[in-house]
Amino acid sequence: MADVYRALDDETRRLILDVLVRHDGQSLFGLCSILTTQHGLGSTRQAISQHLAILESAGLVTTERRGRTKLHYVNAEPLAVIADRWRLPERREDTQ
């Protein structure tokens, strides 16, 4: 779980996740294009690749190879685990 918190601690990685939520299944080239054109992010492909590796190691991104292309997908399961950890019991109104 600590890996998830560290991965989410970086603004660029959160932006990458935001892009993947809207456009899941992107290649590195596709992600870099979207980040540059729609968000004005000027990071290199190598920097984005390193961010993706951190997100993948934290379980927040999964990948799939299609030929020579590696596609990236959001995996929200680690976020659900965090949310479940602090889920409050359902509150009921006292009717007395």
Mean residue pLDDT of the chain comes to: 92
Q: What pLDDT is attached to residue 95? A: 54
Q: Give me the domain span that covers residue 64.
A: 2-85
Cα(33)–Cα(68) distance, integer angstroms: 18
Q: What's the CATH number where 56 sits? A: 1.10.10.10
Give 96's pLDDT tier (boundaries 50, 70, 90): low
Q: Which two tokens stand for residue 72?
A: 């990236």
Q: Domains in the chain: how many in total?
A: 1
Q: Residue 40 domain-assigned?
A: yes
Q: Which two tokens stand for residue 65?
A: 């190879």
The whole-number average pLDDT for the span 41-45 is 91
